[in-house]
């Protein structure tokens, strides 16, 4: 598995776990940051205790964090935009009924 597929699989997997674990955006971000940070610290402790060399670079965790945050923000912005459009449509429909 090359680097791109590892990051892609990790981003998709983490995104779906985050979406199914919490409904609020701030809780999702908190779970994401805490999970990736604790995972990185745990991996470092395990590798250092067995005197192993890191096979996964540190910047992969930051890329995964960045891409999942980007996906969460795009999804949240899309939901916000849809709600605003639906509200605008109901206001226009109400004005049409009121004027006719």
Has residue 59 been placed in a domain?
yes
Has residue 97 been placed in a domain?
no
Query: CA triplet 40, 41, 44: central angle to 5 degrees?
Result: 85
Q: What is the pLDDT of residue 99?
A: 81
Residues of the chain with pLDDT under 50: none
Has residue 94 been placed in a domain?
no
Has residue 88 been placed in a domain?
no
Q: What is the pLDDT of residue 61?
A: 84
- Residue 63 is part of which domain span? 3-71
Q: What is the pLDDT of residue 56?
A: 66
Q: What is the pLDDT of residue 27?
A: 94
Q: What is the pLDDT of residue 57?
A: 72
Has residue 58 been placed in a domain?
yes
Has residue 79 been placed in a domain?
no
Specify the number of domains making up the chain.
Answer: 1
CB 37 within 8 A of CB 65: no
Has residue 96 been placed in a domain?
no
Alpha-carbon torsion, ordered 70, 73, 75, 77, to 10 deg: -140
């Amino acid at each position: 598995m090359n680097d791109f597929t590892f990051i892609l699989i990790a981003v998709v997997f983490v995104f779906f776990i985050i979406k199914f674990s919490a409904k609020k955006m701030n809780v999702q971000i908190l779970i994401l940051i805490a999970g990736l940070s604790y995972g990185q610290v745990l991996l470092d402790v395990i590798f250092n205790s067995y005197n192993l060399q890191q096979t996964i670079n540190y910047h992969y965790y930051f890329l995964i964090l960045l891409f999942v945050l980007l996906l969460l923000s795009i999804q949240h912005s899309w939901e916000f935009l849809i709600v605003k459009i639906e509200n605008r449509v109901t206001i226009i429909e109400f004005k049409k009924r009121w004027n006719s």
